[in-house]
Structure formats: C-alpha cells, structure tokens
Structure 1
C-alpha cells in the first residue's frame, strides 16, 4: 500500500455508491485514506465499505443521504460532527444530468440537479473547509465536466451547473492556496458509468471519447497531488474541450447548439423520450 506525500488522512466521497465515486473510494483506500462514503443506497455503501476495509485495512464510514434534499450538506456535516469525524479531503463527486429541449424537461428534475450539482457541493465545502483551515491543511476535489467549458444547448442546466463547479473551484483555489488548502477541478469527458445508461442515450456524449473510471480517477488524484487547478483526462478530450472558441459568447453558443443536436437523436433501434435525467 502506497500513500502519496502530504495527502490528507480521511476522505469524504459523495456519490460513492457507483461509477467514479466507487473508483475514488477504491483508489483513496489503496493510498491509505480512511473514508466517509455518502450516497442514497445504504446496502451498496455498506458493501463497498466492508470490501475496502477488508482489502486495504482502512476505516470506511457510511453516511446515507439524498443530496437533492434541502440542507443535505448540513445534514451530512451534522452526522460527521455526531461521530467526531474530521474530513481532510472532500471529493464532491455526486451529480447527474438532464438532456432534451428545455421546455420538455420536468422542472422538478432540473431543480434536483441544481440541488445536487451545485447547492450540496457548496454546502459541504462550507461545512468542511473551516476545519481544514484551522488544521492548516486539506484539499477539495470537485468533479465537473467538459460540458462546463461552454454553453451546451439541450444539456443547458447540466452544462451550466458544471461551469459553476469549474469557476467556483478556480476561485476557491486562489483564495486558499496560501493557507495550506489545495483545490482541483476534474473535468472529464464521457466516462463509462451508469450516467448514460440511466439518461437513456449515449448520444448525450456529444463530444470527446469514452474512457473508464480508473484512469480518470488516477489522473484526478495526480493532479491534486501536484496542486493543479483543473484537469481534463485524455488527450482527445482535452483537445476537444479547448478547441471551442471562447469569444464571442454568441458564437460559442451557436457552435454548441449544432454540436449538441446529436443529443436529441434516438439511438439506432431505440425510441428515446425527449427529455432524460441521470444520477451519477
């Protein structure tokens, strides 16, 4: 078991029951971190916690919480306080997307998206960052997306939420970089997780090439070790993300609309509803 130098000792991972979240938990446990695993599925979390404890000898705590609920971040923070758990690395991984024409997407679904992707992320950071600053060390790793680099029509609320994650992370990093706190944003392209299975179409991956969770998480943790501001794993995804023009904004949105039309097309042999949502 190897541990990178100066890494925190206890990591909290949201959305830990599947996909990138489970992979973050596994790789962090292999590095010697104790864990706090947060998601909605108790059975799944407890199974993951038991396995990681058996394999890596770390402590793995389970906190069951639906992050779309009001004050979810505060509820998690209270649970940590009740158990006297101090978190040194916060991995804000939980998130989901919606795709389709805006008027055809259920408003409640987009509301829940913002609660998970934005509100819970900020609330958890508010709750845990003060303790890190008091101890003079800690880290925050926020999971964004290549969709956050530009407006993405037909994924408008999802891409806007990931733009928030990126800009929030960059600003926070500047505030805390001289106070012993590292902040990194992970902005992956399409990843082989349940995101696209639940959303109903792989056409929502409008640009970039698919990859698997393992290399994405390894790249993210290396970037955090090196105190990088943000990282987009995969050369093809990084190039695609940065080829889009940054000005004028209307041109960026025009190009984005033409690229993202793909998300509306049914896949071969399937009838896809006009609007979808997926948890990850």
Structure 2
C-alpha cells in the first residue's frame, strides 16, 4: 500500500444545494460528457453553506435518478450518513441502485459512507445526535450488517459494490477503513499522508485484512498543481473536486480533467 499501478480518476461532487432539480440533473450529465470518472453528491438535508434555508435535495433519491440518467460514470455519495437509515435498508437501497445503473453490464454505484456530523440534520429530522464516538461505533456496527445483507439479497448486487469510507480519525475511523473500505477518502495534507497510511496498515494487520488494493482518495479544493502532484507521488489515485449550484461552473473541473489525462498518458 498504497496501490500505485492504477489510473488516476477524477470525481466531481455536485453539491445538491442552492439549485433546482433540473440544474442538478443537467450538471451530472455535463460532467459525464466532459469525461469525469465519478459523480458524487452529499447526504444532508439542508445547505452546508450559503442561505441555510436555500434549496436542497435528498441524496439517495438523486443517486437513483443518476443511475438511470447516466451511461458510463460511477457515482455515489461523498458521503452517506450512516445514522439516517437502517443498515440493512442501506444495503438494499445500494443493491437496487447498483442494478438500475447496470444496463446490461455491471453496476456503477459506489457506496460512500461515514458516521455523520451535521447536527442540524439530526435535530430537524429527529435522529439522536449522540457523540462523535457513538456515531463511529454505530458505523462500525453497521458495516458487517450491510455486507451480510448484500450476501443475502435476491437478486444479489451485480458486482462487489465498492465501499468508500471518509475520515481520518486514527483510533476508530481508520480501523473501519482497514476492515471494510475499498477506497479511503480524506482531506489529509500530503505531509501527513504517509503517517495515516501507516495507521491503516497497522489496523489492517490487527484485523487480518490485506489492504494492498486500497484506493487512496483526496480532495482538490483550491489546491495548485504542485500540491496535487505531491499527493499523486504519495499514492493518491482518486481526486475529488466540489462544484456548487446553481450554475455549476466546470472551468476548474476541466483543468483537472486535463491534469488527470496527462498523468494517465
């Protein structure tokens, strides 16, 4: 680890806020046409910034629409909040969306998940907020149930549904990553990346899992090319960038698509 012999992929997080449904739908289709590898949204019920009462749409129903509307790209939430839905239900929803997206081949859904953090969601929708530790414990308990439900469902998922887990906490989150994730996503700066990967390796040894195929993911944000190059040298192979509504300006996204293509040439 990290897995270096895999192409660089680029994901765009199409934030489901401050935009109407048509604008969101058109944005994901434009992203696919541009050549993005993965489209993400996020799993919240209210805007995370800007007008707190602004337009906002629910994650999973959008993802089901994307499964039908798109043809090539993978897609998922960056990330799902484990607290909002029963673990077995999450598995069934993921399997169903996987099949919707397959269209005669394998599905394209990525199960991105995390423990949740946005307190307003919990208060407004009646979920127990608990603590950061209790929410992580709930995620650790949910993942085996999700995997077990996938094994029981009829029909089964069309493929091994990739699991993306976000976060960098060393005591709990990275242990869950080591046990369950195919993709680890974080905001870890390049100077801390090797240390975090070492923690994952330690937990992997403890839980008895081979993480040699783990894909390392990081966000681009307002980074310059040199910092992205350094993350690439550190083993990152999935890069994500967020784009906000209502206009969904893809100017920066197009620049990073060109950077990705140069890395893969």
Q: Same fold (TM over 0.5)?
A: no
Higher helix share: 1
TM-score by length of 2: 0.37
**Larger RCO: 1 or 2 (CA < 8 Å, sep 6+):** 2
